[in-house]
Structure 1
Amino acid sequence: KSYSEALHWYNYSVSFYTPGQIDQNLAKLQRNMASCYLHLKQFDRAKEAVKEAERCDPNSIFSKFSVYKIAVMEKDTDKAVKAVIEMGKLVEKPSQHEDKLRVDENTGTNLLSLAAQIALENEQQVVAIKALEYLSEHLQDCRQLFAALKCLIRLMLSKVMAENGENRDEDINSMLTYLTFAHKRIAESFTEEKFTEDMKTLEAHWFRKIAWNLAVQFRGCPEKMRDFFLLSFKFSQFCPSDKAVLIAQKTSLLMAAAVDLEMGRQATPSEQTELLTRALQHLQACKEIWDVLKFTGDFAKDPTDTLLLLYEFEARSKLNDPTLHDLMESVWEQPQIEVKTLEIIASLAMESPARYPILCKKALKSALNLHRQQIVIDAVKFSKCLHSLINISLPTGLTDWDASVLQEAWDYFEDALSVISSTDAYPEMEILWLMTRAWNTGIFQYTICKYKEAEQWCGLGMRFLNHLGSLKKSYE
């Protein structure tokens, strides 16, 4: 470590060259001198030596590395990143003369690895990330590659958490790229004998979990969350299918489908079709996993069956899928379907671009029957369900109603009166709405000269008046 003495001998060797001479050995001498100057903290002289080395051998990765070291020590991030990029390009296309300096095939990756280490030691996060990116592209050894990618993901996550705005989105996309590349390399590693099955499983588990955690971390960005969940699922396919992995797979696919459905609600028609079709693919894969998972334990309270049904119904109804009615036939046969599920189905059946009034009415009627079967009827929930059922049964804008339609609607009003008479909990605004709707139906009958029906419906409306509370005087 006698740097001054070394410099004396290097200078002596340089003196044998004529000024302006270009020679690879001279470049090597200048790089060695630069290294000594760096150890002696003589940065200006080190930069002069490196500049001379670049002049003598501009395409040498060693010269770029010397430039890089000085830039890092001077905390010149832009210059350090530029040097890493140039090193990366030289790794891709090695100099045709470097074989004279006995450069083996690992030299480039070794220098990039050292560059990342130097950056980390000097707390140059951005520079370290760039070095690790190039390193990951060129490493052939799987263990080294996955170690580099893990470090890269941790560094980028730390950077993302301190950011906001456009840069943050770009860096989240970078993490998706890293994980996608890791998945590709794990898939390719099955042909490598040195990388054992246990090693593959271990690496797949790590990346599966990190992808899952990133999905949860970025739940405020639905599209990114979906992509991380799907990557977590893909990594889990390299893991043994135990119960924990199956649950993670099921959840990942359910979340991905949910995001596609949510995005589809605000998408253009062509985008919506693509998103809904993709959601169905996720749901089909999820069903297959769920069928296996149910044999591993008691999932009586698990909502997966309900979610699968609702998600599939929404996707197929909005795609105008002809198999939708077959799906619903199995639903009507279920003995333990919940009221809330039926009400959601009814709502989805009429949510644009879907329009299935018959399915909507059938779901609401089933829900109303379940409300009636309760020992104590929940008047608020009952009133909301009945309100929706009357609206779908007596749609506004029609010039006339069939007698059977009117009779069906009349029965619903009678149902309402029956419940209102048995409880004080029926919402007063709903009673007012029922009264007004019955009265208006009667007035409409009068305008088309159906006087008997008009009298009946107006009379029905008056029966609700007696059940109004504070609003009664305003309508008497």
Structure 2
Amino acid sequence: MKPVNEQLLQTEADWFMKIAWNLALQCEDKPEHMKELYTMCSKLLTLGVQDENSKGRQMTCLLMSAAACLQVARTSGDNELRRTFLEDCLQCVSSCRQLSIKLNDHSIGNGESKKKETDILLLLYEFEARVHLKDSGVEAVLEKALTVSGSDMKTFETLAAIALEPPTHNRSVAVRVLRVAIRKHLQATTPDINKCSKLFHSLIQLCLSGGGNQDLAGKEEAWNYYGEVLDLVNKADKGVYPEMEIVWLMTKAWNCGINFYSHSRYSDAEKWCGLSMRMLKYLDTFKDNYQDHMSNVYADILAKVSPAETPGAAIMA
């Protein structure tokens, strides 16, 4: 039997925890208050018996607190406040992981599905916090995502969206995550072509976002992804790859070519406009809107290319 003082302490802690929890639920529009209340709930739970149920409830409180920290960081215009809450989020994630390890050590096959969901949430929260802090540890989180049980294509789509969010916009991480998400989709028994097209859109947009005639590395990277898109379009049933996405890809390639043309780089212009012409043949509804104009301009470009440069060789095979 527990001593009276210990039992009274637990009873009081439970009562205050319930009050704090209910107050937190009412603070949807006040994430700063919500964070403090959920943190308080977690601390109050440590005053009671530390069994699996108690640790599980502590983890829930810490998850909610971490989410509230991110909510503050997303909306605050105060850089110092944002940094404080992002660092608090990482602390909540770390504490939650420690509890998860303890729970996992004392359970045998119970709640495996819930554990996977928790691991993914913690990974997403940590990734977002580190991206916005411009923390080099974001690469380690990405490596963890590649190995953690339960991470799927949706996980990597979410990671990519986080990496692309302004003002942080981590290009190298976003490119890597998008590539993984595409690979995950293509490895599925029935790939979701529509989602793949959107991921390729984001990936190619990133590569070409440097702008100007100088970003040759980005253009070459985009060129390789165009090859993957064409391969996917060829393998998919006719009309499955969204036509508007093909129009967008065709237009981006064409504009790259015209940019080179305006700088008298005719071989590069032929390469990119030739790629655009290849995209044109996959159009249905919009083909007539572009064909005559593009064919005429492409003929002019071919006329400018030196015979020694073998015009057709630059077009992606």
Match of 2:153 among 331, 334, 339: 339
Structure 2: tracts of 5 or more residues without a match = 292-317
SS at structure 1 position matched to 2:214: coil
Partner of 2:276: 461
Which residue of structure 2 aligns with residue 91 of structure 1?
none
The equivalent of 1:316 in structure 2 is 130
Which residue in the other structure is 2:103 paired with? 293
* TM-score, normalization by structure 1: 0.56
Q: What code does the residue aligned with 1:223 have?
A: E
- AA in 2 matched with 1:453: D
Deviates more, 1:339-348 or 1:267-276: 339-348
CA change 1:336–1:411 in 2 (3 A) is farther
1:269 aligned to which of 74, 79, 85: 79
Q: CA deviation at 1:388?
A: 0.9
Partner of 1:131: none
Deviation at 1:414, TM superposition (A): 2.2
TM-aligned CA distance change 1:416 to 1:397, over 3 Å: same
CA distance in 2, matches of 1:212, 1:466: 60
Matching of residues 16-415 of structure 1 within 5 Å: 195-267=4-76, 268-295=78-105, 296=107, 297-301=110-114, 302-334=116-148, 337-402=151-216, 405-415=218-228
Answer yes or no: is the 8 Å Cα contact 1:348–1:354 preserved in 2: no
Which residues in structure 2 correspond to 1:399-438 (within 5 Å)?
Answer: 399-402=213-216, 405-421=218-234, 422-423=236-237, 424-438=239-253
Deviations 1:68-89 (A, max 9, x none): xxxxxxxxxxxxxxxxxxxxxx
Q: Is 1:318–1:352's contact at 8 Å kept on the other side of the alignment?
A: no
Three-state SS of the structure 2 residue aligned to 1:398 is: coil
C-alpha displacement at 1:330, in angstroms? Answer: 3.2
Once superposed, which parts of structure 1, at least 4 consecutive aligned residues long, lie more than 4 Å away?
Answer: 333-336
Quote the residue 2:254 is aligned against: 439
Give the residue type in structure 2 aligned to 1:303.
E
How does the TM-score come out when normalised to structure 2? 0.81
**How big is each residue's C-alpha offset from its partner over 1:312-366, in whole Å with a ceiling of 9 and x where there is no partner?**
1111222222333333333344576312222222232233442422111111111
Kept in 1, the 8 Å contact 2:117–2:150? The answer is no
Specify the SS of the correspondent of 1:300.
Answer: helix
Higher mean C-alpha displacement, 231-240 vs 339-348: 339-348
Q: In 1, Cα distance between the equivalents of 2:49 and 2:212?
A: 60
Deviations 1:220-255 (A, max 9, x none): 432332222122112101111222222211111111
253 and 461 in structure 1: CA distance in 2 versus 1, 3 angstrom threshold: same
Q: Deviations over 1:132-177 (max 9, x none)?
A: xxxxxxxxxxxxxxxxxxxxxxxxxxxxxxxxxxxxxxxxxxxxxx
- 1:274/1:197 CA distance change after superposition, 3 Å: same
Distance change (3 Å), C-alpha of 1:356 and 1:294: same
1:303 aligns to what SS in structure 2? helix
> Percent identity at matched positions?
36
Q: Which amino acid aligns with 2:224?
A: D
Q: Compare relative contact order (CA 8 Å, sep 6+) and give the higher one, 1 or 2.
A: 2
- Compute the RMSD of aligned alpha carbons: 2.2
Distance 2:148 2:260 in 1: 40
SS at structure 1 position matched to 2:113: coil
Deviation at 1:217, TM superposition (A): 3.6
Alpha-carbon shift at residue 409 of structure 1 (Å): 1.5
Deviations 1:100-145 (A, max 9, x none): xxxxxxxxxxxxxxxxxxxxxxxxxxxxxxxxxxxxxxxxxxxxxx
Contact 2:213 2:260 in 1 (8 A): no
CA contact (8 A) 1:446 1:454 kept: yes
> Cα distance, 1:305 vs. partner?
0.9
Shift, 1:442, TM fit = 1.0
